[in-house]
Amino acid sequence: MSGGKQVVNNSSPLIWLAKIGRLGLLKTLFGEVVVPRRVYFEATTNERSVDSILISEAVRDGWLKVSEEEMEGSSLLAERSGIHLGEAEAILLAQRLETELIIDEREGSATAQIFGVRPIGTIAVLLLALARDQLTFNEFKECLDRLISLGFWLSVDVYRGALEEASSIEKGKKSAIKF
């Protein structure tokens, strides 16, 4: 996973992280986050929502960058793959920048991999934050539970797997402590 290097983001991870008050993790973990203009508009359409306001503030703060580039071929990619146009633009931008893409949608993730782009989901961002001491295990679990309570779809198996991975990360950190 990336660390301190530029990353491209799709709208849903931005929105979900903002909804749970953890949008700043992207800045801490990746430094600079880039989104296509269409993704920015998707993430900020409800100008009065807290998540929209936080995302707009991140752009004003300068760590969330909005790319003005036209991503040639994005309409064709969206049409042929069945993904949204914003996802297609994000995939092509990540490919051009040779970086990872933070995206949750299954079809978008699969399409990104076909184009040689490594997809990272919201849960993986939270796990990375745990591994880098930006979240405690309890905060990680609270984030998962909060996401679910707000409507983030997560299967029981994925939820359990995320908690197991988080527990493993936490144990690894504790065993690394030398007395």
Domain map (residue ranges) of the chain: 7-122, 123-176
CATH superfamily of 7-122: 5'-nuclease (3.40.50.1010)
Predicted pLDDT at 5:
77
Mean pLDDT on 120-148: 97
Q: Provide φ and ψ at 106, rounded to 5°.
A: -60, -50
Average pLDDT for residues 9-25, to the nearest whole number? 97
| pLDDT tens string 73-114 | 999 999 999 999 999 999 999 999 999 999 999 999 999 999
Kindly list the distances between the CA atom of residue 51 and the CA atoms of 105, 106, 153, 155, in Å, as whole numbers in the listed order: 19, 23, 18, 24
Distance CA 176, CA 63 (A): 32
